[in-house]
Every structure is written in structure tokens, then in C-alpha cells.
């Protein structure tokens, strides 16, 4: 047995503790150990190899990050916007130089294919690029004589310390939806990444340190629920952004709003593809399967021949699920669908990767005969499971989409401009194609 194998027996460190990396927080411009007494495993979902040990967090970790942000805020706020974005320019250049390293890290810890990881890293850099333009978008407005002798001026000002609680499915991209824009506007920021996939954010924060951000402007705190509650309850945090499941989104929104914070909470999603009788069926089938089975179905916009395996290998188009527990959850949805009367016309439950028998793989599965009342028709499965429903006419199909409480994105395949326009007017999901 090698030292590394000896160190990860049953997912726990044994004799060779040095073989497993213990992750640190980045607070006040320096790396520091967490006060946490509990640690979680960060595993490669392809091989089940233990990659690192992540602290599950403590309220004291959050408090130190908040205090660092509050200390940095007055000086950062007074820094001219054109000077603030110079640090983002440096970060963008460093992310471009380390592009492949970041993408490989995403694939290593999440399991998605390297092409998918590269696309997500590109979107992360795009957000940094967008934030660099903040100085022009922060300009205020003015209006003379809104009443006799009274002029009105609007000035956009930073508020303080903000935080983001981010999900496991896009570990490099989602934090960049928030951090670059917040700091460009003059705020300080804390990222609490998913404890399942913290490695890519570790690398990005190493680049932030190299980019020279002033101490306390950007902070990284690892953790699970204790860290989340610390963020939601801390009086020094002005606002919170969250991306994750709907139950947790409701929890975050209620708890943070009760403390008077600004809150963005993006929960789960159910996405619909309407295929009309006049559609190009081969094209509709291709796009739908690519959408549904991309990222192993672990994205809220999921909808060729699919090669399942290690995302680092050429030709693989679908990787494993994120954890063994999540695989069991998706299998539970498949069992529920069968019990409720849906027909499983493609069963991916038996798939095993011969190269990686310990991986958390699940082959693509397709149900037909699904109804809106079924569990698999109502809830977000977050796995490679496609549900087919039949509608008697266009109006019925529209109502299925309109009534669903998790409606997020939808597409229509048709040759008719009339139906495409009608669909755009009548459905309510926020993204339509």
C-alpha cells in the first residue's frame, strides 16, 4: 500500500496525514487555518480518490472575514473606480495565463468534461471583463427643476461587505457572477464555495493574491451550514447572494432578509423544450439531449452519441455525478418515476466505467409518459434524466410550462413563426430560445 493509499482508507486520514491537503481560508490578504473542528472530504468523482480535507467552517471564521472586509472598506470605497478595476485587469490576465489549470481543477473536483470546464472558466473571465467596465456604468443621473428651484441628483455608492454562497455545479463560474462586480463598485467581498468543490476557488484566490488586491477586499471562507448561518446572521454583512436548491434558497432568503440584508437567492429549476409537429426532429433531439445530459444533468439549463467517462479524457461527453450520495438521490428519483407509472425507455442505472469502477457514474436515462403531477415532473432531478410529456395541443403545452413553479428556461422547436411568437408572449420562464 502506498503512503497516499494508506492516508485515505475509508475516506479518513490515517498514518500519512501529510499526504492529504488541508484547505485554508483566505482572510485579510493571508491564508489561515480555520477554527473548524469538523472536516469534509473533497473527492474526485471519477476515481473516489481523496483530494483534500475542507474545514466545515465556524462562525468565528466568518467574523474574521467580515472584520477584515469592514477594515478594508473605507479605503477601498475611496479608491477611484478606474483604479479599482486595475486589480481586475490583473486578475483577468492571470486567469487567462492559468486558464487550463483552472479548467483541469474544475474537472478534477467536479467530474464534468474538460470542454465543459473550459466553457465555464471562459464565462468566469467574461464576468471579470464585464466588471472592468463598471466605471462607466456607475455614473449617476441628474435632473434640474424637479420642483421649483430643486434639482435631483442620483449617486451610486458602495455599501460595505457582501457575501456569496455558491453551488457545486459551476465552481469557477458562479462566484464570478458576483465578486468582480461587487468589488469594482467599491464593496468588499466574501466567497463561501461549496464544500464539495472548493479547489478551483482556492486557485482563483491565489491569483487574486498575486493580482495584489488590498488586504480584506476579497476573502474566502470554507464551510457548510455553520458558515452559511454565520454569513446570514452577521450584522456586518450588507447583502448575500445564493445559488443552490430551492429549499435552501427559501431558507437563505428568509433568514437573511429577517436580518435586514439585501438578498439574491436563485433556487432550483425545471426547464422545458416544446417540440411542435412541424419541428426539425433530428435537430430537436440533438439539442435536447446535449442540453439535458451536459454536465451529467447537474445544471439548471440542461435539456449525439453520449460517451460517459473521465472528463479529462478526449472524446468523453458526460462525466460522473458529484458525489456517491447525489448519485443515490438521482437513482431514487428514477425509482419514484417507475412507481408513479412513467415508462423508462432508456435505463442508465447499470452503467459502470470499466476504467473507474469506483466512480459515481450514472448513464443517461429517459422517461416517457410523464405527467406534470408526477414527482419527476414537478421536482428538479439534477441528474442525467430526461422526462418526456405529451400535450394534446399547443395551449395545453403552454399551460404545463406556465403552471410550473420552478420554470426557469424554455425553448420551442417549430418551423412556424406564428407559434414561436405566440410561445414567447405566453410563457413566463425568464429565458427563452
Interior angle at CA 273, CA 324 and CA 383, nearest 5 = 0
Going along the chain from its start, the domains and CATH numbers come out as 3-140+154-266 (3.40.605.10), 270-432 (3.40.309.10)
- Measured CA to CA, the distance from residue 425 to residue 421 in angstroms comes to 6
Interior angle at CA 74, CA 71 and CA 77, nearest 5 = 130
Q: What does the pLDDT read at residue 305?
A: 62
Q: b/e for 20-49, b at 16 or more Cβ within 10 A?
A: beebbbbbbbeeeebebeebbbbbbbbbbb
- Measured in whole angstroms, the distance separating CA 367 from the mean position of its chain's CA atoms is 26
Q: What does the pLDDT read at residue 4?
A: 35
Q: What is the DSSP string of 228-260?
A: HHHHHH-TTEEEEEEES-HHHHHHHHHHHHHTT
- Of the candidates 351, 348, 366, 353, the one whose C-alpha atom is nearest the C-alpha of residue 311 is 353
Backbone angles phi, psi at 163, to 5 degrees: -140, 150
- Measured CA to CA, the distance from residue 351 to residue 321 in angstroms comes to 12
Q: What does the pLDDT read at residue 70?
A: 99
| CB-based burial label for 341 (10 Å; 0-12, 13-18, 19+) | exposed
Partners of 387 in the β-ladder: 367
Q: What does the pLDDT read at residue 12?
A: 38
Three-class DSSP category at 182: helix
Work out the number of other CB atoms within 10 angstroms of the CB of residue 414.
19
Three-class DSSP category at 1: coil
State the distance between the two ends of the chain, measured CA to CA, in whole angstroms: 53
- Measured CA to CA, the distance from residue 418 to residue 266 in angstroms comes to 32
Q: What does the pLDDT read at residue 17?
A: 47
**Going by C-beta distance under 8 Å and a sequence separation of 6 or more, which residues neighbour residue 344?**
334, 337, 338, 365, 366, 367
- Is residue 211 a contact partner of residue 238, using CB atoms and an 8 Å limit? no
- Is residue 242 a contact partner of residue 77, using CB atoms and an 8 Å limit? no
- Is residue 71 a contact partner of residue 27, using CB atoms and an 8 Å limit? no
Q: What does the pLDDT read at residue 289?
A: 79
Tens digit of each residue's pLDDT, the chain (433 residues): 333 333 332 333 433 445 789 999 999 999 999 999 999 999 999 999 999 999 998 999 999 999 999 999 999 999 999 999 999 999 999 999 999 999 999 999 999 999 999 999 999 999 999 999 998 888 889 999 999 999 999 999 999 999 999 999 999 999 999 999 999 999 999 999 999 999 999 999 999 999 999 999 999 999 999 999 999 999 999 999 999 999 999 999 999 999 999 999 999 877 888 999 999 988 888 888 777 775 554 444 444 467 888 888 888 888 899 999 999 999 999 999 999 999 999 999 999 888 999 999 999 999 999 999 999 999 989 899 999 999 999 999 989 888 888 777 888 999 999 998 998 888 876 677 5
Q: What does the pLDDT read at residue 90?
A: 98
Q: Give helix 246-258 / helix 225-233 axis angle, nearest 10°.
A: 30
Work out the number of other CB atoms within 10 angstroms of the CB of residue 116.
23
Q: What does the pLDDT read at residue 16?
A: 40
- Is residue 221 a contact partner of residue 27, using CB atoms and an 8 Å limit? yes
Partners of 344 in the β-ladder: 367
- Of the candidates 268, 262, 111, the one whose C-alpha atom is nearest the C-alpha of residue 178 is 262
Q: Give helix 99-110 / helix 114-132 axis angle, nearest 10°.
A: 130
- Is residue 287 a contact partner of residue 386, using CB atoms and an 8 Å limit? no
pTM of the model: 0.88
Amino acid at each position: 500500500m502506498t503512503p497516499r493509499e494508506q492516508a485515505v482508507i475509508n475516506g479518513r486520514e490515517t498514518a500519512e496525514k501529510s499526504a492529504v491537503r488541508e484547505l485554508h481560508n483566505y482572510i485579510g490578504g493571508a491564508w489561515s487555518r480555520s477554527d473548524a473542528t469538523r472536516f469534509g472530504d473533497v473527492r474526485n468523482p471519477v476515481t473516489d480518490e481523496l483530494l483534500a480535507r475542507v474545514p466545515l467552517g465556524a462562525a468565528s471564521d466568518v467574523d474574521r472575514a467580515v472584520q477584515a472586509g469592514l477594515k478594508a472598506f473605507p479605503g477601498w470605497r475611496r479608491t477611484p473606480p478606474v483604479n479599482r478595476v486595475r486589480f481586475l485587469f490583473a486578475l483577468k490576465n492571470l486567469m487567462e495565463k492559468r486558464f487550463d489549470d483552472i479548467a483541469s481543477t474544475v474537472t478534477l473536483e467536479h467530474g464534468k468534461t474538460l470542454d465543459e470546464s473550459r466553457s465555464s472558466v471562459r464565462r468566469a473571465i467574461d464576468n471579470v471583463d464585464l466588471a472592468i467596465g463598471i466605471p462607466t456604468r456607475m455614473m449617476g443621473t441628474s435632473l434640474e427643476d424637479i420642483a421649483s428651484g430643486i434639482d435631483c441628483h442620483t449617486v451610486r455608492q458602495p455599501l460595505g461587505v457582501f457575501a456569496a454562497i455558491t453551488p457545486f455545479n459551476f465552481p469557477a463560474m458562479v462566484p464570478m457572477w458576483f465578486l468582480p462586480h461587487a468589488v469594482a463598485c467599491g464593496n468588499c467581498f466574501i466567497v463561501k464555495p461549496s464544500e464539495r468543490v472548493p479547489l478551483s476557488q482556492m486557485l482563483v484566490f491565489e491569483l487574486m493574491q498575486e493580482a495584489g488586491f488590498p488586504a480584506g477586499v476579497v476573502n474566502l471562507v470554507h464551510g457548510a451550514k455553520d458558515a452559511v448561518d454565520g454569513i446570514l446572521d452577521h450584522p456586518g454583512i450588507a447583502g448575500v447572494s445564493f445559488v443552490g436548491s430551492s429549499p435552501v434558497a427559501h431558507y437563505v432568503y428568509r433568514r437573511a432578509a429577517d436580518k435586514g440584508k439585501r438578498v439574491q437567492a436563485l433556487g432550483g429549476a425545471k426547464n422545458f423544450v416544446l417540440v411542435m409537429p412541424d419541428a426539425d426532429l433530428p435537430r430537436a433531439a440533438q439539442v435536447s439531449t446535449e442540453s439535458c445530459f451536459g454536465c451529467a444533468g447537474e445544471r439548471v439549463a440542461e435539456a449525439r452519441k453520449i460517451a460517459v467517462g473521465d472528463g479529462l479524457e478526449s472524446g468523453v461527453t458526460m462525466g460522473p455525478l458529484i458525489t456517491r450520495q447525489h448519485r443515490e438521490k438521482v437513482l431514487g428519483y428514477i425509482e419514484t418515476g417507475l412507481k408513479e407509472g412513467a415508462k423508462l425507455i432508456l435505463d442508465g442505472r447499470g452503467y459502470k466505467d470499466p476504467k473507474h469502477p469506483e466512480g459515481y457514474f450514472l448513464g443517461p436515462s429517459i422517461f416517457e409518459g410523464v405527467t406534470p403531477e408526477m414527482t419527476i415532473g414537478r421536482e428538479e432531478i439534477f441528474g442525467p434524466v430526461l422526462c418526456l410529456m405529451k400535450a394534446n395541443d399547443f395551449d395545453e403545452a403552454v399551460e404545463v410550462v406556465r403552471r410550473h413553479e420552478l420554470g426557469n428556461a424554455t425553448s420551442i422547436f417549430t418551423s412556424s413563426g406564428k407559434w414561436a411568437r405566440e410561445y414567447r408572449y405566453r410563457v413566463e420562464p425568464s429565458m427563452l430560445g
